[in-house]
Structure 1
Amino acid sequence: MSIRENIEGIQARIAAACARVGRNPAEVRLVAVSKTKPATLIEEAAAAGQRLFGENYVQEFADKTEQVRAPVEWHFIGALQSNKVKYLRGKVTMIHSLDRLSLAEEINRQWAKLDRPVDVLLEVNLGDESSKAGTGAEEAIELVRRVAELPFLRLRGLMALPPWLDDPEEVRPYFRRLREVARRIEALNIPGVSMAELSMGMSNDFEVAIEEGATLVRVGTAIFGGRG
């Protein structure tokens, strides 16, 4: 199938997942994960109406922003080193992978140069997997308090990369846990902090993620095919 047909199929599945739990499909945004994919495929997806794209690697992202001419919105969703934040400055509207105070401080420093804030999500490591980034669920609240003090960051919610499991139902408890962490943080009423966004769910499990409250689903393979 074409990229256009893939996107239309995913949007239909998003709508169906929302209907099952009484949600408005407008609450869920599709992030097309375009890592390792050439600019031509991003342009093709944009021509099919996709506007939001997520990149994982800073150098690859920098190259693509020079090549993609379509009016798209970029999110950065991969692990991020502090010394590479400057290459994202002013080019992304959201960073999904904030996981430590030193990174938050560098993002704040770079966006201060633009005198405008950037939206960020706190990445929570729900599976306690040493191979994955993210702050622990218990440490998240203290990090939220510190991030809230930085004037050029707007904390909009949480992101998670749960363990990859064949059965999406086995991932459901992780999505549910992220939602519960978000509720705990929301209940603290920390000034400037919102938990409006939950970035969770990928090609194999995004429907379950939506049923558990996802507002941003990160889908690559189901749009573009396997890694190129």
Structure 2
Amino acid sequence: MNVKDNLISIQKEINDACNRVNRDPALVQIIAVTKYVSMETTERALDAGLIHIGENRAEGALQKWEALHERGIWHFIGSMQTRKVKKIIGKYEYLHSLDRISLAKEVDKRLEEGQVMKCFLQVNVSGEESKSGLSPEEVIPFIKELSIFKGIQVIGLMTMAPFFDNAEMTRPVFRKLRKLRDSIMVMKLSHAPCTELSMGMSNDYTVAIEEGATFIRLGSALVGRE
């Protein structure tokens, strides 16, 4: 798996998608999802110039983090069990799966004074039973509840679209998340600036970019699966 060549190809696709909708490609950040690949492949991603690394295991990524954490910015992108929060505090800068008050409470409790966890609220836009997350209707009331937690900063929303052979079918999901994000931004909440959108994966990231994604999560297209 030649990560550098893959990145060149992906960057061209990002540029093309941004050109189609008059966006600045510099506003789209790639998260290299390394949960299925080795330490060596993760290193190759960093060597290629990527800085955002995505993992979804509190324990499984520890060895990678210990060896490589100074070279990257670490994102926890999977469902987070409350009892494992203590394992990610101080290691992961971003949490992409905040979806319940009990989790917010535990994160806030474990943070040191003055520390902040940058959080995406996970939204189940498609309504699939197999996916975690808040319903779109629950998001704004949930954000208002989070105002009591000094260590929680809601920087944006995250979703996973259903898998379709035709990526164009994902567009309504991404568009709905963007519109929800926009409605929160105008509220100008100090604890929830909500400027970011984490959406789009290897099969549908160009559509997500056209709909406003600021972080795309790429695994197989970028670093493969080992």
The answer, yes or no, to whether TM exceeds 0.5 is: yes
Q: Distance in 2 between matches of 1:61 and 1:134?
A: 23
| Structure 1 unaligned regions, length at least 5 | none
Asked if the contact 2:155/2:194 (under 8 Å) is kept, the reply is yes
Asked if 1:205 corresponds to 2:184, the answer is: no
Asked if the contact 1:43/1:69 (under 8 Å) is kept, the reply is no
**Alignment partner, residue 77 of structure 2:** 77
**Alignment partner, residue 4 of structure 1:** 4
**Alignment partner, residue 186 of structure 2:** 187
Q: Distance in 1 between matches of 2:157 and 2:13?
A: 23
Offset at 1:34? 0.5
Aligned ranges for residues 16-165 of structure 1 at < 5 Å? 16-68=16-68, 71-111=71-111, 113=112, 115-165=114-164
The one-letter code sitting in structure 1 at the alignment partner of 2:2 is S
Q: 1:153 to 1:22 in 2, by over 3 A?
A: same
Q: Distance in 2 between matches of 1:110 and 1:42?
A: 28
Q: 1:176 to 1:48 in 2, by over 3 A?
A: same
Offset at 1:190? 2.5
Asked if the contact 1:124/1:158 (under 8 Å) is kept, the reply is yes
Q: Distance in 2 between matches of 1:147 and 1:70?
A: 30
Q: 1:12 to 1:114 in 2, by over 3 A?
A: farther
The one-letter code sitting in structure 1 at the alignment partner of 2:101 is L
Q: Distance in 1 between matches of 2:113 and 2:163?
A: 38
Percent of counterpart pairs with the same letter?
A: 40
Offset at 1:188? 2.5
Q: CA RMSD in A?
A: 1.3
Asked if the contact 1:43/1:70 (under 8 Å) is kept, the reply is no
Deviations 1:109-131 (Å, cap 9, x if unpaired)? 111x2531111010000111121
Under a length normalisation based on structure 2, what TM-score does the superposition of the two structures give?
0.96
The one-letter code sitting in structure 1 at the alignment partner of 2:36 is T
Q: Distance in 2 between matches of 1:193 and 1:2?
A: 38
Q: Distance in 2 between matches of 1:126 and 1:118?
A: 23
The one-letter code sitting in structure 2 at the alignment partner of 1:81 is Q
| Structure 2 unaligned regions, length at least 5 | none
Under a length normalisation based on structure 1, what TM-score does the superposition of the two structures give?
0.95
Deviations 1:166-187 (Å, cap 9, x if unpaired)? 1110000000000011122223
Q: Distance in 2 between matches of 1:186 and 1:168?
A: 27
Q: Distance in 2 between matches of 1:142 and 1:188?
A: 12
SS of the residue corresponding to residue 209 of structure 2 reads: helix
Q: Distance in 1 between matches of 2:76 and 2:24?
A: 25
Q: Distance in 1 between matches of 2:11 and 2:148?
A: 37
Which 4+ residue blocks in structure 1 deviate beyond 4 angstroms? Answer: none
